[in-house]
């Protein structure tokens, strides 16, 4: 009668390899250290937020000139 932990973990290792292979590896731009390949899936609102920040800083800067 066997009880306790399993002695083979090959099925768990295969499952981990399958799950980890779904995420893209490497870089979005090959010669650049940033951003990683999964950047777009991790931060989908980044272009919108960056655009809003640029517009807000631009308006603040223009208001200082006037």
Domain boundary assignment for the chain: 10-65
13 vs 31 pLDDT, higher one: 31
Report d(CA 52, CA 8) in Å as an integer.
53
Name the more confident of 45 and 39: 45
Confidence (pTM): 0.48
Structure-model confidence comparison of residues 64 and 35, the more confident one: 64
Give phi and psi for 27, each to the nearest 5. Answer: -120, 150
Q: How confident is the model at residue 43 (pLDDT cuts 50, 70, 90)?
A: confident
- Check residue 34 and give its pLDDT: 73
More confident residue, 64 or 43: 64
């Amino acid at each position: 009668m066997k009880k306790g932990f399993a002695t083979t973990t090959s099925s768990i290792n295969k499952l981990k390899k399958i799950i980890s292979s779904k995420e893209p590896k490497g870089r979005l731009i090959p010669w650049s250290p940033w951003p990683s390949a999964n950047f777009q899936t991790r931060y989908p609102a980044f272009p919108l937020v960056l655009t809003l920040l640029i517009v807000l800083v631009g308006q603040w800067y223009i208001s200082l000139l006037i």
